[in-house]
Structure 1
Amino acid sequence: MDIVIRQAQSGEYGPLGEITAQAYLQDGLLDFGGSDPYLDVLRNVAGRAAAAQVLAAVERDRVLGGVTFVPAGGPMADIARSGEAEIRMLAVAHHARGRGVGEALVHACIDRARAVHGCERLVLSTQRTMHAAHRVYERLGFTRTPDRDWNPLPDLDDITLLTYELTL
């Protein structure tokens, strides 16, 4: 596997945004009609890169996936507390799944979190149906934190996100 994980370059923002949006759509996590307002957030890689670190998984100049790493608070943090970094919007193109791309992206976030002064934990939120992602997190040592589960859309009862943490 010649996959490189590195900071996303501005010319990759469009493809990475589309990979992220399509991963959520094709996995049935959003409205298939394409009207879900969260699609705009998923596609806005430039906005994420201005507020956090966006990493890309690249093979021979082809973007295979990406993740947003939030080192310490800021506008991109959903659940991170003091002393915690956060993983957001992990996505891998469907054609690249099963090749270790997602795991490599999570490893890169773990390495970055360990390099953040005072960071004690790496946290993330995930949807209930993302079973393959759950297996990756658990294999890498993340544990469930049900007391931190939360609902980003309180008006909709069925959107409770599961949370995980890794003590560094």
Structure 2
Amino acid sequence: MTDIEIRRATSDDVPAIVALLADDDLGAARETPDELAPYLAAFHEVDSDPKQFLAVAERGAEILGTLQLTLLPGLSHRGGTRAQLENVRVAAHARGLGLGGRLVSWAVARARQHGCRMVKLTSSATRQRAHRFYERLGFGASHTGYTLALDGGGP
């Protein structure tokens, strides 16, 4: 997969990103790819925030992966900034080819460029394959996460 470009997403990428988010058991139950208006509104909010990076991995004209990187300044860790990874997805037909590792490496490099002290991520307790993937990349299970759904939906 040497012909992959990882770049900042544009609004034209939103349909493909939403399709990636919907392409698994959890996403299929919560995403609605045929109703793009809320996703486009969210995209514009994310894209206008300099501490947010919504990235896509593209080969030719096909979006094969995505992730969101958020820079979180804080007082803990001597005022250090943390990076938070969310929504890491790779198209089903491109899994196992190293693309997920390249995406995460890209995000870690960007976090380093911004002086972050750590990169954190959350992953649903049901995603055992994803947990093994993150552990292979050097991430450790260090916290227990909790979710409080505010919109009546599930976590």
Per-residue CA deviation, residues 20-62 of structure 1 (Å, 9 max, x unaligned), is 2x13xx323552795xxxxx56994333323311110101121
Q: Distance in 1 between matches of 2:43 and 2:91?
A: 15
How big is the alpha-carbon RMSD for the aligned residues of Structure 1 and Structure 2? 3.0
Any stretches of 5+ residues in structure 2 without a counterpart?
A: 33-37
- What TM-score, normalized by structure 1, do the two folds share? 0.70
Matches within 5 A, 1:1-168: 1=1, 2-20=3-21, 22-23=22-23, 26-29=24-27, 31=29, 40=38, 44-51=42-49, 52-73=52-73, 82-117=80-115, 119-146=116-143, 148-153=144-149, 159=155
Is the CA contact 2:55–2:68 (under 8 Å) kept in the aligned structure 1?
yes
Aligned residues between the structures: 142
Is the CA contact 1:42–1:89 (under 8 Å) kept in the aligned structure 2?
no
Amino acid at match of 2:133: V
Q: Distance in 1 between matches of 2:60 and 2:31?
A: 33
Q: Distance in 1 between matches of 2:113 and 2:63?
A: 25
Q: Distance in 1 between matches of 2:140 and 2:40?
A: 26
